[in-house]
Structure 1
Amino acid sequence: MNKLAVNLPGIALKNPIMPASGCFGFGENFAKHYDLGKLGALVIKSTTLEERIGNPQPQYHHAGNRILNSVGLKNPGVEAVLAHKLPYLEQFDVPIIASVAGSKEEDYIEMCQRIAAAPNVKAIELNISCPNVKEGGVAFGTSPEVAARLTAQCKAVSSLPIYVKLSPNVTDIVEIAKAVEAAGADAISMINTITGMAFDLASRQPVLGGITGGLSGASLKFVALRMVRQVAQAVSIPIIGIGGIQTVDDVLEMILAGATAVQIGSANYKNPLVCPEVIAGLPHRMEELGIESIQAFIEESQKLIKAQNKF
């Protein structure tokens, strides 16, 4: 019996650990350090129809365990991903979750149709923190109606499960989660980064070329745990927990909040071995805590969530 195994819609994972989109590229650099087949799944960098060079430099600001990034969805475009990036990953025994993005709804629909053609892509993650041109530059994920419509449209054209990645930069993330669930989302990934900024005192200017950026790192975990728990109390589809995860205990805490699996993000920058190290450390910590299996812990956590008062 594999005590670490978990199931997500369309995917059987050997363990609940996967890298978060944007923090792992397409895996090439990390494959130099370990066999990517050790991962439960691999989420590729958000891909768009056309190549994107991203925002002006600098794109990163590191401050201890906190990171601001303003990459701007830099990626080689879907043709290059289908021709080179995804075929490269076929050598590893790991299911691929393809993160897709766009500037208008039609972009997402076409991306879902095209990326699903790759044989190793088992699910699609919609990055809905992107600006919706038709809605005046507002992120798709900040409006329940827009998020639901986009989810339904992508479900209609894809035979693969659709996971929707939620932005924390909203008034009520539960409302967004319920809307995408009602529209047919198979799972929810949460949370994306929190919008922030920093200044260079000498120049009196923002440190990032894109002015603002997404805040990630250890401190994000506490916000993510709260939001995951809120959403877990309101929806019945699986949640993939993201935000500040660096250790085995972070993983178990995220499951206790309501997640079925997790994505490890910016911790990969400081330690390229963080994912396999967490995977290797899970069994011993589970034994210490009397956890029979990850699936048993998920079921225990879900019972606790139902028994406790809502926020």
Structure 2
Amino acid sequence: MDVSRLGAFVNKGTTPAARPGNAQYRVAETPSGILNSIGLENPGATEVARKYGKAWAELGVAVIVNVAGYSVDDYVFVVHEMTGTPGVVAYEINVSCPNVKGGMLFGCDPDLAAEVTRAVKAETDLPVIVKLTPNAPDVVAVARACEEAGADALTAINTVLGMRIDTRRRRPILGTGSGGLSGPAIRPIAVHITYQVAQAVSIPIIGAGGVTNAQDALEFLMAGASSVQVGTATFADPLAPLKVIEGLAAYVKEHSLASIRDVIGVALPAPED
């Protein structure tokens, strides 16, 4: 794979200290997606920087570090530890984590999400992207709060809560019971949230959720996203991101566009005079 053709890689969620992850089972297939409850398994920020920084530099890839934590200080610590790591070009803040002070997800409360955003912005000069959770009561309010707090961009969306039951065992399949649903099943939800958020903020939106081909990517772009992420599709086809790029290039040529940017937001309502 020619990684230079990709805009950037988003790494796995990185926390201050190493995490072993959740108990088995962690993954369950669904007819049109995957449920996962990995539990943010990772070696911790210091080790991620040490272990992977050199490899990222050698590959020449741009890396967006996905930052997770259970307090504002956790997020700041990860960014501090990753500062100066070769290849790192931005931080994506995973606000789908529970705040240890009250248990509420950072991304479900506009004030908490804004607090994390401001703290991370104060720690780095690199762009800060906030990954929105679709499980928030008011995603648009969270998006606005993050923009006001200084976020440079937003990712829409993180996984949707879901569950599968093993009917033989009469128990949930995942060890934690519920997990995050990703893949084509959530694409209509993700496109809808992108469409809503794009009308409420002026910063770029990265569309994420079930992108498997260029047509999927076009839906996000037309709904107001400036770029897209490809995740679950790579399990079945590691070359899926490149195929999306090739498909978008073909669309530009077929429709005689100057650039794929010409379709960004075309499905949004016309602005009122």
TM-score w.r.t. length of structure 1? 0.84
Query: Take 1:293 and 1:186, find their aligned partners in 2: how far apart are those partners?
Result: 23
Instruction: After superposition, give the CA deviation of every residue in 1:120-142 in whole Å (9 maximum; x if it has no partner).
Output: 1111110010111012x211100
Aligned to 2:122: 156
Aligned to 1:133: 100
Question: 1:286 Cα shift?
Answer: 2.1
Aligned to 1:80: 47
Query: Take 1:179 and 1:64, find their aligned partners in 2: how far apart are those partners?
Result: 35
SS, match of residue 251 in structure 1: helix
Is 1:295 the counterpart of 2:245? The answer is no
Is the contact between residue 9 and residue 62 of structure 2 (CA under 8 Å) also seen in structure 1?
Answer: yes
Query: Take 2:247 and 2:156, find their aligned partners in 1: how far apart are those partners?
Result: 23
Is 1:115 the counterpart of 2:79? The answer is no
Instruction: After superposition, give the CA deviation of every residue in 1:18-53 in whole Å (9 maximum; x if it has no partner).
Output: xxxxxxxxxxxxxxxx13222111111111111111
Instruction: After superposition, give the CA deviation of every residue in 1:271-310 in whole Å (9 maximum; x if it has no partner).
Output: 1111112222221122223332122333xx26x525068x
Is 1:192 the counterpart of 2:155? The answer is no
Is the contact between residue 249 and residue 260 of structure 2 (CA under 8 Å) also seen in structure 1?
Answer: no
Is 1:124 the counterpart of 2:91? The answer is yes
Aligned to 1:66: 33
Query: Take 1:220 and 1:65, find their aligned partners in 2: how far apart are those partners?
Result: 9
Query: Take 1:232 and 1:73, find their aligned partners in 2: how far apart are those partners?
Result: 29
Identical positions, percent: 43
Alignment match of 1:267 (pick from 210, 233, 248): 233
Aligned to 1:146: 112
Query: Take 1:211 and 1:98, find their aligned partners in 2: how far apart are those partners?
Result: 28
Is 1:283 the counterpart of 2:246? The answer is no
What do you get for the CA RMSD once the two structures are aligned? Answer: 1.4
Query: Take 1:104 and 1:197, find their aligned partners in 2: how far apart are those partners?
Result: 27
Aligned to 1:4: none
Aligned to 2:137: 171
Aligned to 1:203: 169
Aligned to 2:270: 307
Is 1:91 the counterpart of 2:58? The answer is yes
Instruction: After superposition, give the CA deviation of every residue in 1:101-132 in whole Å (9 maximum; x if it has no partner).
Output: 11111110111122122131111110010111
Structure with the larger RCO, 1 or 2 (CA within 8 Å, 6+ apart): 1
Aligned to 2:202: 236
Aligned to 2:2: 35
Count matched residues: 272
SS, match of residue 138 in structure 1: coil
Is the contact between residue 38 and residue 94 of structure 1 (CA under 8 Å) also seen in structure 2?
Answer: no
SS, match of residue 292 in structure 1: coil
Aligned to 2:12: 45
The letter of the residue matching 1:275 is P
The letter of the residue matching 2:30 is A
Query: Take 2:224 and 2:263, find their aligned partners in 1: how far apart are those partners?
Result: 10
Question: 1:186 Cα shift?
Answer: 0.5
The letter of the residue matching 1:267 is A
SS, match of residue 103 in structure 1: coil
SS, match of residue 305 in structure 1: coil
The letter of the residue matching 1:101 is A
Consecutive unaligned residues in structure 2, runs of 5 or more: none
Query: Take 2:76 and 2:214, find their aligned partners in 1: how far apart are those partners?
Result: 37
